[in-house]
Structure 1
Amino acid sequence: MSETGEGETTAAEPTSVLLLSGGERTRELAPAFERLGARVTVSDDMAAMTDADALTGLIDATGPRFVVADAGGVATDALLAAAEREDVDVFPTPRALRLSVDGEGLRRLAADELGLPTAPFWFAGSVEELTAVAQHAGFPLLVKPVAAVPGEGESVVLRSDDVEPAWRRAVAGGRLSLHRVLAETVVEVDVEVTLLTVRTTGPAGPTVHFCEPIGHHRPAPGTLESWQPHALSPAALDAAKSIAARIVNSLGGRGVFAVELLVRGDEVYFTDVRPRPQDSALVTLRSQRLSAFELHARAILGLPVDTIMISPGAMEIVDVDVDADPDVGDATLRAVLADALAVAESDVRLFPAGEGRGRRTLSTATAPDPIVARDRARRVASALRRLS
């Protein structure tokens, strides 16, 4: 499709959106479209989304103006065919969607074609190849699937005996059975940052907008903490924006892109990009005037955006073990929520148990500075852990 800002519909044609669901984040994205007058159909049938014929049938049946994939692994052949239609826009672009689940293709685009700075990396298709990489690269070495959500199937190889377990973990942890892994040198960094980059199009052509950097880390398995803003030096911030703009413009389309970066002093390394808001972006529900999900909806619909941060904020996601009992009494639930919400400027969201995992909790808080906000979010999360 062209990038001239098309996406407007006449008053007689209500905007229709087919949203291919990616889980809890879709619960934020669907209302964001609806509040802008769109009629939203949500599909969470992964079998239909990953089968080209089934997805084509779904698009034909719903007749959307926009098809928005909020999940990886969606059948790109069907999206390519839909994108050729005059009356349908597809976001992310099929190319961006394919690269979002192809770590090898994405890393080669970033490093080889665009010349973005990355940690030294290699790919391996067997234990033997990974062993040879380890012998050449040395230790420590980060090994992860070429197609996975952040943190899934990752491990750090410290010695030769760790290679085979790391291979098994990566192959088992990937969303797609590619039997191929990415190995990269462990770079000593100060922080991991998500730079939410909003790409819009209009009469003057494509434009990119940046949110304040979001710092994040995983203090324990099943836990993600993020905060906004994370202060970067002027040189690092300029480098981060340059990297983000180049990769996002290469992928094309409209919407929010979560560009993942490693930062050490003034040095910035590209590590990943997802053509949609990621879990770390949930902090924007409290910290920004428009959340990442509202920005995504606005950009896709061709509407004006702003990335104003209204307060420093922090959030913590905790995944409760799938084997834990998710049922709690009303009195216990109210008591836990009372303790959690007694923390100043806090909020909570409880997501139901999903297939293959237990309950997920989201703790958010704002404060005059991100350090206090992080402390508040941790206190909220600590109270909610009693639900497990």
Structure 2
Amino acid sequence: MSPRQQPVLGVLGGGQLARMLALAAAPLGVKSLVVDSAADACAGQVAPLVVADWTDYAALEKFAAQVDVVTFDFENVPAETAHWLAERVAVFPAPQALAVAQDRLAEKTLFRECGLSTPDFMTVDTREQLDQALARVGAPAILKTRRLGYDGKGQFRLREVADADAAWAALGAQAPAHGLILEAFVPFERELSVLAVRGRDGDFRTWPLTRNWHVDGVLSMSLAPAPDSDVLQERATELARILAERLGYVGVFALELFVRNGELLGNEMAPRVHNSGHWTIEGARTSQFENHVRAVLGMPLGDTGVRGMSAMFNWIGELPEQTAVLETVDAHWHDYGKQERAGRKVGHATVCGIDAGALAERVQRVARLLDRQPQAQPVLDVLGD
């Protein structure tokens, strides 16, 4: 009897998200094959790695012939590459969704068309247009590149109109290639994200809302389910469903949201598994990574319910000593296998508890032993309410 043919998941991008996708795929009997331009891409430690540039079509042709479906590790894969591959192999999410998420103007325009409010914004292509945008949007505001920005990169915050020269000096050179957008600064009450998944058959599910805290534009801590968010959960789920159906989306995506006066405002959409959903590995019945694999391969989706409450510490720049996490009940360590470098995501830890009290006790223990009290304090404040 011949052995069963295992499906092969192709992943464009070889970072930690590809690594965790490959780890989630293996128990499902799914092999993974990863493409990245860096020979030391960390996903290559757990799955075969093809080292190739996004325009190396000879290498991509061979890659496409070896996989059953292609997905993304990050959204800055050129849309042209995604379209080229889609002519040869199934690609999910569709290149259209990738293209929208790569352009902040297209993204925010889509949000508004789907009924999701956004901060005021205006495109900026010249220094003169920056002045015009500031006159309409006002200050404080944030000047951003329309493309290739993530984790706080490609952004300049203008505290007052007089900061326009400094903002243009920082980002104006990128205007011809990528375009710029000026967005009104939102005095938000909290940051949330909704993780959603849509299957090939249209089955749609969300995980409970996650509350997030950022430092210098990079995620620092997440807490799920976000307390006191039942009403917002219903609205966030509705908006995510509208977006997914509008794009014909297949796979997991994250919708990053601000809360202001009880209203949800759209910040960004990530057309992939997301940092704020890492807690689902241990905290949900089916992780975002497993459900993404299931979705893009046409398998039934898994239950997105939770097992209790979870908090995630993001490790940026360097990994702390792991013993405090390993010795804490229901705490879980994740090392991405990356070289440590300032500003780089190198790992995370997820701490789980049956309820807020149990979670707070474990988060406090980890934070104290690792000298991370300032990082954990916002979560502890919320859990103590």
User: Is residue 361 of structure 1 aligned with residue 347 of structure 2?
Assistant: yes
Separation (CA, whole Å) in 2 of partners of 1:186 and 1:198: 29
Separation (CA, whole Å) in 2 of partners of 1:17 and 1:207: 20
User: Is residue 193 of structure 1 aligned with residue 185 of structure 2?
Assistant: no
Q: Unpaired segments of 5 or more residues in structure 2?
A: 39-50, 373-385
Match of residue 211 from structure 1: 207
TM-score (norm 2): 0.82
1:343 to 325, 328, 337: 328
Match of residue 29 from structure 1: 21
- Once the two structures are superposed, the pairs formed by residues 309-388 of structure 1 within 5 Å of their partners are 309-320=306-317, 336-354=321-339, 357=342, 360-370=346-356, 373=359, 376-377=362-363, 380=366, 383-384=369-370
Say if 1:216 and 1:359 are closer, same or farther in 2 by CA, change over 3 A. Answer: closer
Match of residue 162 from structure 1: 163
User: Is residue 127 of structure 1 aligned with residue 127 of structure 2?
Assistant: yes
SS of the equivalent of 1:50 reads coil
SS of the equivalent of 2:57 reads helix
Separation (CA, whole Å) in 2 of partners of 1:271 and 1:90: 26
Deviations along 1:172-212, one digit per CA (max 9) or x if unpaired, are 8x8x983422222222222111101111133xxx1311110
Match of residue 103 from structure 1: 104
Q: Is the 8 A contact 2:22 2:31 kept in 1?
A: no
C-alpha displacement of 1:170: 4.9
The AA in structure 2 aligned to 1:345 is D
Q: Is the 8 A contact 1:262 1:268 kept in 2?
A: yes
Match of residue 68 from structure 1: 71
User: Is residue 229 of structure 1 aligned with residue 225 of structure 2?
Assistant: yes
Say if 1:222 and 1:263 are closer, same or farther in 2 by CA, change over 3 A. Answer: closer
Match of residue 145 from structure 2: 145
SS of the equivalent of 1:118 reads coil
Separation (CA, whole Å) in 1 of partners of 2:229 and 2:354: 20
Separation (CA, whole Å) in 2 of partners of 1:310 and 1:231: 15
Separation (CA, whole Å) in 1 of partners of 2:228 and 2:59: 43
SS of the equivalent of 1:373 reads helix
Match of residue 240 from structure 2: 244
Separation (CA, whole Å) in 1 of partners of 2:358 and 2:53: 42
Say if 1:244 and 1:253 are closer, same or farther in 2 by CA, change over 3 A. Answer: closer
The AA in structure 2 aligned to 1:363 is A
Deviations along 1:75-129, one digit per CA (max 9) or x if unpaired, are 33343233234xx210121111112211111112222x33421111112123332
Deviations along 1:287-335, one digit per CA (max 9) or x if unpaired, are 11211111111111212221011120011112127xxxx8xxxxxx8xx
Deviations along 1:246-285, one digit per CA (max 9) or x if unpaired, are 1121222311111111123431112211111111111212
TM-score (norm 1): 0.81
Q: Is the 8 A contact 2:140 2:158 kept in 1?
A: yes
SS of the equivalent of 1:259 reads strand
User: Is residue 40 of structure 1 aligned with residue 70 of structure 2?
Assistant: no
> How much is the aligned-residue C-alpha RMSD, in angstroms?
3.0
- Once the two structures are superposed, the pairs formed by residues 241-320 of structure 1 within 5 Å of their partners are 241-305=237-301, 306-320=303-317
Say if 1:177 and 1:132 are closer, same or farther in 2 by CA, change over 3 A. Answer: closer
Separation (CA, whole Å) in 2 of partners of 1:219 and 1:49: 32
The AA in structure 2 aligned to 1:45 is S
Separation (CA, whole Å) in 2 of partners of 1:376 and 1:219: 22
Separation (CA, whole Å) in 1 of partners of 2:127 and 2:347: 37
Match of residue 47 from structure 2: none
Match of residue 82 from structure 1: 85
Greater Cα offset, 216-225 or 303-312: 216-225
Q: Is the 8 A contact 2:151 2:217 kept in 1?
A: no
Separation (CA, whole Å) in 2 of partners of 1:180 and 1:338: 46
Greater Cα offset, 122-131 or 49-58: 49-58
Separation (CA, whole Å) in 2 of partners of 1:365 and 1:12: 38
C-alpha displacement of 1:378: 6.4
* Aligned residue pairs, count: 356
Q: Is the 8 A contact 1:93 1:253 kept in 2?
A: yes
Deviations along 1:3-48, one digit per CA (max 9) or x if unpaired, are xxxxxxx985431221112411111101212221122111222683
Say if 1:285 and 1:114 are closer, same or farther in 2 by CA, change over 3 A. Answer: same
Say if 1:161 and 1:318 are closer, same or farther in 2 by CA, change over 3 A. Answer: farther
Match of residue 4 from structure 1: none
Deviations along 1:143-176, one digit per CA (max 9) or x if unpaired, are 222221243233431112322333454568x8x9
Q: Unpaired segments of 5 or more residues in structure 1?
A: 1-9, 327-332
C-alpha displacement of 1:365: 0.4
Percent of aligned positions that are identical: 27
